[in-house]
């Protein structure tokens, strides 16, 4: 039978020797940041901070994150009002539907902005720029307001008129942009009959719509069938006589419809000849040049066929179906 070994309490020297041996055989633990992935380091640091944060601090952090997300969402949806330098805005990026602006109305708008500031922001969208150029914005709505602020800046050179409040809308398709512009002007200050027809033709020619008929139907979708029919008539006037008329925006509805009827009956060349005979000084003189042609057509027999002479006028027909 083996003799049992008697256990003895180790001395201080023995304990020091054992500890030294243990340390020599166990590798030193590397620093956390050099041994694990960065994401693990971030998680560890966040956990350490979270453990020491109070409930109030954590709640504040959550609220700040939620606010940042709401701000980013508002910016992406074009709901955030910003101050933009007026020289960064290009009002010619889109063909405007408004042809004339009353100086009396513009003076009233300038005085209002000077006294009370701009109450309603304009709407813009970002446009592409070359490398090295600053940001540029195309004007979507607010043509009169932008011109009023620019006039005030030219007059006063005041810093407050060097910028303008704006909503940066998401870049829209061409047809949506034209619809938005027309709707804004129809609500704030109704367009003239000729301006409606003109913008329908231009929008179609720029490829925003399939043809003039499609442009009228979509630009004035909220209007009645009779209104859209009138717009088509003035669109025809713009197509065939727009380069000759000096005061087209002053055409009344009655005169415009009569003129469109004459164009559908093949009177374009005769009307152009009449308009080229003299330069009118006002709308009445311009109408007086055309009226003899219209009167002669009123008493002339209609050409055979459902469409009359319009059936032989491919250009007039193309204006509405192109």
Is 122 within 8 Å of 139 (Cβ atoms)?
yes
Here the tokens at position 98 are 């408004």
pLDDT one-digit tens code per residue, 269-302 = 999 999 999 999 999 999 999 999 999 887 766 6
- pLDDT value at position 33? 47
Is 241 within 8 Å of 275 (Cβ atoms)?
yes
Is 78 within 8 Å of 135 (Cβ atoms)?
no
234-253: average pLDDT:
91
> Which of 84-88, 138-142, 215-219, 232-236 shows the lowest mean pLDDT across its residues?
138-142
Q: What fold characterizes domain 70-190?
A: 3.90.1530
pLDDT one-digit tens code per residue, 31-43 = 544 555 566 666 6
**Residue 321 reports pLDDT greater than 80:** no
Dihedral sign, Cα of residue 303, residue 304, residue 308, residue 309 = negative
Q: Which neighbouring-strand residues pair with 127?
A: 136
- pLDDT value at position 49? 59
| Closest C-alpha among 316, 270, 273 to residue 294 | 270
More confidently predicted of 142 and 1: 142
- pLDDT over 70, % of the chain: 68
Query: Domains of the chain: which residue ranges?
Result: 70-190, 191-297
The Cα–Cα gap between 105 and 96 comes to 18
**Residue 229 reports pLDDT greater than 80:** yes
Confidence bin at 99 (pLDDT 50/70/90): low
Helices (H), the chain: 12-25, 32-35, 38-52, 55-76, 103-116, 143-156, 174-188, 193-205, 212-219, 225-241, 253-264, 268-275, 283-298, 314-321
- pLDDT value at position 306? 40
Q: What is the mean pLDDT of the chain?
A: 77
The Cα–Cα gap between 173 and 170 comes to 10
Give ∠ CA 294-296-299 in degrees, rounded to 5. Answer: 110
167-196: average pLDDT:
69
Confidence bin at 208 (pLDDT 50/70/90): confident
67-94: average pLDDT:
79
Is 237 within 8 Å of 264 (Cβ atoms)?
no
- Long-range contact pairs involving 227-233 (C-beta distance under 8 Å, separation at least 24): 230/193, 230/256, 230/257, 231/193, 231/196, 231/197, 231/200, 232/197, 232/200, 232/320, 233/197, 233/257, 233/260, 233/261
Confidence bin at 309 (pLDDT 50/70/90): very low
170-180: average pLDDT:
64
132-159: average pLDDT:
86
Is 170 within 8 Å of 138 (Cβ atoms)?
no
Confidence bin at 232 (pLDDT 50/70/90): very high
H or E element: which one contains 77?
none
Within its chain, how far is the Cα of 204 from the centroid? 18
Confidence bin at 94 (pLDDT 50/70/90): low
115-144: average pLDDT:
81
- pLDDT over 90, % of the chain: 28
> Which of 103-107, 247-251, 312-316 shows the lowest mean pLDDT across its residues?
312-316
**Residue 220 reports pLDDT greater than 90:** no
> What is the pTM for the complete model shown?
0.52
- pLDDT value at position 170? 73
More confidently predicted of 30 and 19: 19
- pLDDT value at position 27? 56
pLDDT one-digit tens code per residue, 52-80 = 567 777 777 777 887 777 777 766 766 67
- Distance of CA 13 to CAs 16, 17, 75, 118, Å? 5, 6, 73, 88
Confidence bin at 322 (pLDDT 50/70/90): very low
Is 179 within 8 Å of 218 (Cβ atoms)?
yes
The Cα–Cα gap between 101 and 109 comes to 11
Dihedral sign, Cα of residue 51, residue 52, residue 57, residue 63 = negative
């Amino acid at each position: 039978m083996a003799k049992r070994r008697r256990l003895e309490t180790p001395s201080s020297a023995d304990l020091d020797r054992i500890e030294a041996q243990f340390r020599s055989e166990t590798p030193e633990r590397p620093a956390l940041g050099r041994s694990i992935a960065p994401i693990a380091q971030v998680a560890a640091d966040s956990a350490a901070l979270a453990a020491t944060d109070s409930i109030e601090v954590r709640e504040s952090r959550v609220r700040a994150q939620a606010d940042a997300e709401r701000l980013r969402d508002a910016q992406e949806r074009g709901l955030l009002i910003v101050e933009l330098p007026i020289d960064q805005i290009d009002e010619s990026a889109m063909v405007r539907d408004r042809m004339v602006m009353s100086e009396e109305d513009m003076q009233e708008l300038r005085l209002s902005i000077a006294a009370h500031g701009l109450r309603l922001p304009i709407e813009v969208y970002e446009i592409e720029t070359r490398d090295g150029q600053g940001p540029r914005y195309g004007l979507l709505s607010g043509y009169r307001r932008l011109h009023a602020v620019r006039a005030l800046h030219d007059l006063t050179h005041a810093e407050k008129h060097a910028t303008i409040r704006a909503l940066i809308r998401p870049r829209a398709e061409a047809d949506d942009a034209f619809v938005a512009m027309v709707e804004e002007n129809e609500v704030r200050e109704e367009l003239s009959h000729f301006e409606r027809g003109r913008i329908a033709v231009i929008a179609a020619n720029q490829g925003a719509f399939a043809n003039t008929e499609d442009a009228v139907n979509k630009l004035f979708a909220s209007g009645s069938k009779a209104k859209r029919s009138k717009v088509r008539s003035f669109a025809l006037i713009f197509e065939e006589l727009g380069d000759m008329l000096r005061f087209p925006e002053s055409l009344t509805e009655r005169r415009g419809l009569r003129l469109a009827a004459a164009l559908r009956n093949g009177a374009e060349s005769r009307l152009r000849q009449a308009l080229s005979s003299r330069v009118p000084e006002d709308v009445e003189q311009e109408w007086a040049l055309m009226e003899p042609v219209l009167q002669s057509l009123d008493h002339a027999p209609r050409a055979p066929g459902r469409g009359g002479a319009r059936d032989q006028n491919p250009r007039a027909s193309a204006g509405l179906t192109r």
